[in-house]
Amino acid sequence: MSVCHTRFFFHRRLCFFFSLMASKPQRVHQFAGTSVPGSTKKRRTMTTDCSMSDGFVKYADYLNGLNEKRERVVKASRDVTMNSKKVIFQVHRISKHDKDEVLEKAEKDLASVTDLYMSRLVKELQGTDFWKLRRAYSPGVQEYVEAATLCKFCKSGTLLSLTELNASLLQLSDPSVEPLQINVLDYLLGLGDLTGELMRLAIGRISDGDLEYAKRICQFVRDIYRELSLLVPHMDDDTEMKKKMETMLQSVLKIENACFSVHVRGSEYMPLLGSSDQDFSVFGMPNFDP
Amino acid sequence: MSDGNVSPPPPSMPPEINGSASMEKQFKGLLAQLEESGAIRERIKSVVMEIESAARAMHSELLLVHRSLPVPEVLEKARAQIDVLKDLYRRLSDILRECPGQYYRYHEDWRSGTQTVVSLIAYLHYLEMGSLLTHGQTEEKLGLDASDFCLDIEDYLTGLCFMSNEMPRYVVNQVTAGDYDCPRKIMKFLMDLHASFRMLNLRNDFLRRKFDSLKYDLRRVEEVYYDVKIRGLVAEDTIKDQTTESQI
């Protein structure tokens, strides 16, 4: 959803950019018109220009380097997002009978995301880059946090902590390079998304007849929501997180209501519930028809 | 529900309780981290407020240049604010030294203030020396040590664009005060600056829009130059200078 949104935004900005470009030639023309007085004037401009442009050559190098790096980080982040999503899909394939195999495959996929794609981020980011380029890699890292915590929950029913997660990333870089450490903000934003996935999982479990599991998820999500509600006001930029908190509350309610329905109406309600909530598995598809 | 007990029992009751306890513990730790960075941010913000107020003071001193032809005392008073700013940036870098590598985490807090500061210092420098203040010189004037607390290059460049925004008004008032050669000098300066900026591959962001505004400043200065020149107000020797140039 957010990717689509930014792309649309970009497009609009590009349009703006082109309209500027279109009005440019005329103005350039004016410049040429006023600076007519002779070629020598131009030569003089060039010579004095030199001292000024010396500095600008450096700035240009810096900006080029930075933009290229940002581009690479964005690409790496996108790969992390894409492949983390695949892990999440894999987790959702869980059913009563093949839980272990499905999870095992999901974990293997996650490990390869770490080795193949997170490692590319690690290579790019050094020193101040972690914060400077955060916006370029944050979406990928959030998705990764989501996938990793989801796997962990399904396996052991606990929350993968930031410390554990960062420890698992340490092995990616050789000791000479600064290791990639996921920051608190991205971790929390990732957890914000995790609850949505857990909601889908819970609904799936209920339709599969596994009410106990759904109840466990419900309690887990409630706990996360409660804990996060204390943290959110302290986050650097909490607008994104506030939105996630609202969605999170909706997820909690959905799970609670589903549990309630099954609890009250008994097993005859189950097939119906299963079919009505099928839509949840079609992630984000509505975004593609503008 | 009937076959709920079939589900494999990974974490039954005890681990779950442990789980939520450890969850609480981890979130306490994270809260502490966030509070710590929040406290740092508060300290940064209070220094930035002082920076912005010093910049306002400097700006109001510099506004006096519109009243008359250049007066050294006016510039002297504006220059006095640089020492105040230098001291404030030292305090800022002291705070940042406590959290190495996190310059860009808090960057937004001082970004716009710093851009204004750069524009004022560069403006003052131009009025004094008639040349462009480089990135290195700006860091030097503000007493910044690149390894500690650098001046972000994009902030510097944005500051230069802000500086150019001051030029059209300056030119107009200088001409009114009787300095007819001023438009030519500033036009040349802005042309060089504009040409230099065109060497940069800018992204479609804030700096790019500011760069576009530089173009309009240049155009306005050109108009003033045109007005002065067409009425024959440009000093004799400079005209002669130019005609001989164009003959070569």
Burial class of residue A289, CB neighbours in 10 A (0-12, 13-18, 19+): exposed
* CB-based contact A240:A181 (threshold 8 Å): no
CB contact (8 A) between residue B101 and residue A127:
yes
Q: Do A209 and B3 touch (CB under 8 A)?
A: yes
Identify the pLDDT of residue A128.
Answer: 81
Let me know: does A236 contact B99? Beta carbons within 8 Å: no
Q: Which residues of B touch A37 (CB under 8 A)?
A: 242, 245-246
Closest residue in B to A54 (Cα–Cα): B196
Higher pLDDT, A44 or B206: B206
- The partner residue sitting opposite B199, judged by closest CB among A53, A227, A228, is A53
pLDDT for position B125 = 95
Please check whether residue B160 is in contact with residue B134, taking contact to mean a CB–CB distance below 8 angstroms.
Answer: no
Q: Is the pLDDT of residue B240 over 60?
A: no
Cross-chain Cβ contact B33/A220 below 8 Å: no
Sign of the CA dihedral with A168 first, then A172, A175, and A179 last: negative
For residue A27, give both structure tokens. 């103005």
* Cα dihedral A126→B37→A139→A221 (10° resolution): 140
Question: Which amino acid is located at A31 in the chain?
Answer: F
Q: Give the nearest partner residue to A20 out of B195, B203, B212, using CB atoms.
A: B212
Strand, coil or helix: B181: coil
Interface test with A, best of B16, B24, B27, B35 (most A CBs within 10 A): B27
User: Model confidence over A117-149: pLDDT tens digits?
Assistant: 988 888 888 778 888 999 999 999 999 999 999
Q: Residue B141: which of B157, B120, B161, B162 has the closest Cα?
A: B120
Residues 6+ apart with CB under 8 A from A87: A106, A109, A110, A113, A147, A150, A151
| Sequence-ordered list of residues with C-beta below 8 angstroms from that of B83, at least 6 positions apart, any chain | none
pLDDT of amino acid B237: 55
- Residues of B numbered 52-71 whose beta carbons fall under 8 angstroms of chain A's beta carbons: which are they? none
- Nearest Cβ partner of B31 from A13, A99, A230? A230
Whether the CB of A97 is below 8 Å from some CB of chain B: the reply is: no
Closest residue of chain B to A55, computed from CA coordinates:
B134
User: Does pTM top 0.80 for this prediction?
Assistant: no
pLDDT computed for residue A261 by the predictor:
86
A93 touching B, CB under 8 A? no
Using a CB–CB cutoff of 8 Å, tell me whether B43 touches chain A. Answer: no
> What single-letter amino acid sits at B230?
I
The residues of chain A scoring below 70 in pLDDT are: 1-50, 173-178, 266-290
What does the alpha-carbon distance between residue A220 and residue A214 come to, in Å, rounded to a whole number?
10
A130 touches chain B (CB under 8 A): yes
| Tens digits of residue pLDDT in B66-112 | 988 777 888 999 999 999 999 999 999 999 998 888 899 999 999 99
Yes or no, beta carbons of B16 and A216 under 8 Å apart: yes
Q: What is the ipTM of this complex?
A: 0.81
At residue A156's C-alpha, the angle toward residues A94 and A169, to 5°, is 100
